[in-house]
A and B are shown apart, each in its own frame.
Chain A
Amino acid sequence: MIWLTIILMTVIIFISRYIFIEPKLPLRLGPGMVKFLSYSAPAVLTAILAPIVFIQDNTLHLNLDNSYLIGAVFAVLLILITRNTLLTAVLSMLLFFLVH
Chain B
Amino acid sequence: MSHPQSPASIRKSLWQGMLAAMPLSIAVIPWGILAGSYAIEAGLDMIQSQAMSAIVFAGAAQLVAVGMIKSGIGLTSILLTTLLITSRHFLYGMAMRQQMSPLPLRWRLTLGFLLTDELFAICSETKQHKFDRWFAFGGGFSFYLIWNIASAVGIFAGQQIPNLDELGLDFAIAATFIALVVPAIKTPSILVSVLVSLIMAVVCELFHIPGGLLIAALSGMSAGMLTAKLTNEPHPNKTILTRPGEDQ
Residues on A close to B: CB < 8 A?
1-10, 12-14, 16-23, 27, 29, 34-55, 58-60, 67-68, 71-72, 75-76, 78-80, 83-86, 88-90, 92-93, 96-97, 100
Contacts and interface: CB of A to CB of B under 8 A. Distances in A.
Contacts of A39: 189-190, 193, 220-221, 224-225, 240
Contact of A79 (B22, B173, B179, B217): B179
Interface in B94-131: 94-98, 100-103, 108-109, 111-113, 115, 117, 120-121, 124-125
A5 B43 CA distance: 14
A39 B216 CA distance: 12
A47 B217 contact: yes
B161 interface: no
Q: Is the interface of B mostly helix, strand, loop or mixed?
A: helix
Given A10-B55, A40-B217, A52-B171, A46 B198 contact: yes
Contacts, number: 271
A60 B212 CA distance: 16
Contacts of A50: 197-199, 201-202, 205, 216
A41 B172 CA distance: 18
Interface of B: 22-23, 26-27, 44, 48, 51-52, 55-58, 61, 65, 69, 75, 78-79, 82-83, 86-98, 100-103, 108-109, 111-113, 115, 117, 120-121, 124-125, 167-168, 170-185, 189-190, 193-194, 197-202, 205-206, 212-214, 216-218, 220-222, 224-225, 228, 238, 240-241, 244-245, 247-248
Closest 4 CB pairs of A and B: A20-B93, A43-B220, A18-B112, A47-B216
B92 A96 contact: no
A3 B212 CA distance: 29
8 contacts: A6-B55, A21-B100, A45-B121, A49-B177, A76-B178, A83-B247, A88-B178, A93-B27
Nearest to B99: A21
Contact of A85 (B79, B112, B179, B189): B179
A79 to B, nearest CB: 5
B177 A45 contact: yes
Contact of B244 (A44, A84, A100): A84
Given A40-B92, A42-B240, A43-B224, A18 B113 contact: yes
A21 B112 contact: yes
A78 B216 CA distance: 26
A35 B199 CA distance: 22
A4 B168 CA distance: 32
Contact of B168 (A14, A40, A84, A100): A100
B216 A12 contact: no
A21 B96 contact: yes
Nearest to A21: B100
A52 B168 CA distance: 9
Interface-central residue, A16, A29, A67, by most chain B CB under 10 Å: A16
Contacts of A72: 174-175, 178
A69 to B, nearest CB: 10
A23 B102 contact: yes
Given A39-B220, A96-B175, A47 B182 contact: no
Nearest to B218: A43
Contacts of B213: 44, 47-48
